[in-house]
Amino acid sequence: MTRKKPVTAILFFVLPFGLLFIAFYLAPIGYAIKQSLYKVTRTGTFGPAHEVFGGFEQYQRVFQNGPFWESIGRVLLFGVVQVPVMLGLALLLALLLDSGLVKGRAFFRLAFFVPYAVPGVVAAIMWGFLYSPNLSPFTAVTKTWDLLSADLVLWAMANVVTWVYVGYNMLIIYSALLAIPQEVYEAARLDGAGPVRTAWSIKIPLVMPAIVLTTVFSIIGTLQLLAEPQVFRTFSSAVSSTYTPNLTVYSTSSIPNFNLAAAFSVVLALATCLLSFAFLKVTQRGDDK
């Protein structure tokens, strides 16, 4: 196009979002980094506190903070188990919905999706009751295994997250399946491929982008676990104030030690970005082959 660029229109479109993005995304990131480089000192024990530049002192504390790294390990373990289970189930249900073997598709689609309408906090409260030995409708289970004990509470939370998000992930994968043109299946049918074979070698590769997308969001979500453990603290003493990285950030900032909390935030955000970016890179390399 050789015509003059509509500068005012472009500014009109981009600026409102751009300014808010700068104010409420970039500025906080910058501010967190700045805060993480400061420390509070006092003159004498009870003297007035003032902030001075501390270099990487807070980061040194972050790296020496055992509970924080334990909590990172905990959510990684959580993610390694929960994300594949959740997405595997979502994929299976999407494939079944798409296979023509199932009657009443509209009903199932909606039934599986309803939990997504339940906010994380509310879902955690509900399941907290369902797990409690006295009130649960599944007393046969909750009397044998204490789902709120230190050993099992992590997996009890994994179940809450799975329950909320399977339907949502299923819907994303299912929509991708619906978008596959019918002609693609013709060849498979001529070759005499059955439904399992078709699913495995045609459908799954074609919906890979959707699976990658849902995986990245799940990784981000896992590292950010907050609402579920925060709620479970009222049901189970096994959930400490540093149970997940975000709980550590929250409890450090309510001490208050904002500088250290900011350093935790920065490290956590970086770890999240790196992990999701690495996952994207690995899967993209697979595509190039």
Nearest to 67 by CA among 220, 262, 241, 265: 241
Q: Which stretch binds another protein (CB under 8 A): 29-37, 50-58, 62-70, 182-190?
A: 29-37
Among 41, 149, 234, 237, binds another protein (CB under 8 A): 234
Vertex 221: Cα angle to 79 and 262 (nearest 5) = 110
Whether a cis peptide bond, with omega within 30° of 0, leads into 205 is no
In single-letter form, the type of residue at position 280 comes to L
Binding residues with another protein: total (CB under 8 A): 95
Phi/psi at 260 (5° precision): -70, -40
Min separation Cβ 44 and another protein, Å: 26
Task: Choose, by CB under 8 A, the member of 87, 166, 199, 239 that binds another protein.
Answer: 166
Binds another protein (CB under 8 A): choice among 21, 56, 63, 200:
21
Geometric angle at alpha carbon 184, from 178 and 185, rounded to 5°: 85
What's the min distance (Å) between Cβ of 45 and another protein? 26
Structure tokens at 179: 């978008």
Nearer to another protein, 17 or 46 (CB): 17
216 with 234: CB under 8 angstroms?
no
Query: Please, which of residues 176-195 interact with another protein by CB under 8 A?
Result: 176, 178-179, 195
Of 26-34, 37-45, 61-69, 75-83: span binding another protein (CB under 8 A):
26-34
Q: Of 46 and 53, which has the nearer Cβ to another protein?
A: 53
Q: Which is nearer to another protein, 18 or 55 (CB)?
A: 18
**For another protein, what does the binding mask look like between residues 91 and 130, x meaning CB under 8 A?**
-xx--x--x-xxx----x-xxxxxxxxxxxxx--xxxxxx
Helix pair 153-178, 105-113: axis angle to 10 deg = 140
The Cα–Cα gap between 76 and 143 comes to 29
Is the CB of 33 or the CB of 77 nearer to another protein?
Answer: 33
